Amino acid sequence: MIIFPIVFNFLFLWDSKHMNGNTSDWFTLYGGILSGMIGGTLTFLGVKITLKHKDKRNEEEKKPKLDILDQHFLLNAGLSYDHRKNIEIKVQNLGGSIAKNIEAKLKFKDFDKLINEAENRANKGIKDNLYINSFIDPRNEVKRASLSVELDIDHKVQDFIFGNIGEVYFRLIGNCIPIELDFRSYAGFEVPSDVHGWITYFWGSTNWDKRGEFFQEGVFDMILELKYHSIDNKEFIQKFNLSFKDQGLSEIENGFSVEVLTLRSTEIPI
């Protein structure tokens, strides 16, 4: 760019004795031609880049993209085994095409921390006679633990089994169409009721003024990994951190005062 004006100037100042017209006329002619070529080239490149970005944006918008809805559920410290419920994780598709064959892997973020917390409560004799049995499932080598409690009710000792939980759960939850086609559509992952049972016991055996802090410690935090395919069989993987929040709200269910917990999600960049 620096040399070109010098060469251009030298050529047009050279007297060949075979050219007609003033030098300024030739400068004007070729200057117009060159500026037109340069302007046209820059315009072409600008349009090409714009179309490329537009195609890329359209391609991104057409991809499936999953998200997790916040879930609210109720806890009652007096609930027994028969009253526990599954926690349904609702997966929605915010993208522009169907998400096919969604494979879900749900894993406690720190299973050993959860077991240690349970054992600490058992050793301190918090509220009840608490029994923890942790083991490795020989079928799939997954860490598991069971929780049971002896309660003295009306001078009678009764056993309550709050469940047998595993460190990780696998599910094939099927397909999920975009919510722009049906805003009610979602794919559900049901967390076993045993997990609800463990949360119920820990929540009920924590002092009222400490319950919010307990869930902030992330003892029950989980990681949800979703693997799925687009309509053209491209594979996608997304990960979410799931955590429980005590809303500090109460409702009445079957004559009992129950607390509202919220399961919230945050996507983890991959």
Please report which confidence band the pLDDT of residue 51 belongs to, taking 50, 70 and 90 as the band edges: low
Give the number of C-alpha atoms closer than 13 A to the C-alpha of residue 97, restricted to the C-beta side. Answer: 15
Helix (H, G, I), strand (E, B) or coil at 94: coil
143-147, 181-185, 243-247, 248-252: least confidently modelled range: 248-252
Question: What pLDDT is stored for residue 98 in this prediction?
Answer: 94
Is residue 15 scored above 60 in pLDDT?
no
Helix (H, G, I), strand (E, B) or coil at 93: strand
Average pLDDT, the chain: 78
Render pLDDT for 61-89 as a digit per residue (tens, 0 to 9): 679 999 998 888 777 655 454 556 778 89
Selection from 71, 51, 202 nearest residue 132 by Cα: 202
Helix (H, G, I), strand (E, B) or coil at 78: coil
Q: Examine the domain organization and report whether 40 and 130 are in the same domain.
A: no
Question: What pLDDT is stored for residue 177 in this prediction?
Answer: 94
**What distance in Å separates the CA atoms of residue 215 and residue 109, rounded to the nearest whole number?**
13
Domain count, the chain: 2
Prediction pTM value: 0.72
- Full domain range(s) for residue 39: 3-61
Higher pLDDT, 160 or 240: 240
Q: Examine the domain organization and report whether 205 and 75 are in the same domain.
A: yes
Render pLDDT for 167-197 as a digit per residue (tens, 0 to 9): 999 999 999 999 999 988 999 998 888 888 8
**What distance in Å separates the CA atoms of residue 177 and residue 185, rounded to the nearest whole number?**
7
Q: Examine the domain organization and report whether 11 and 120 are in the same domain.
A: no
**What distance in Å separates the CA atoms of residue 202 and residue 103, rounded to the nearest whole number?**
30
Selection from 6, 7, 10 nearest residue 23 by Cα: 10
Q: Examine the domain organization and report whether 18 and 91 are in the same domain.
A: no
CA atoms 255, 260, 261, 263: torsion sign = positive
Backbone φ and ψ for 142, nearest 5 degrees, come out as -95, 135
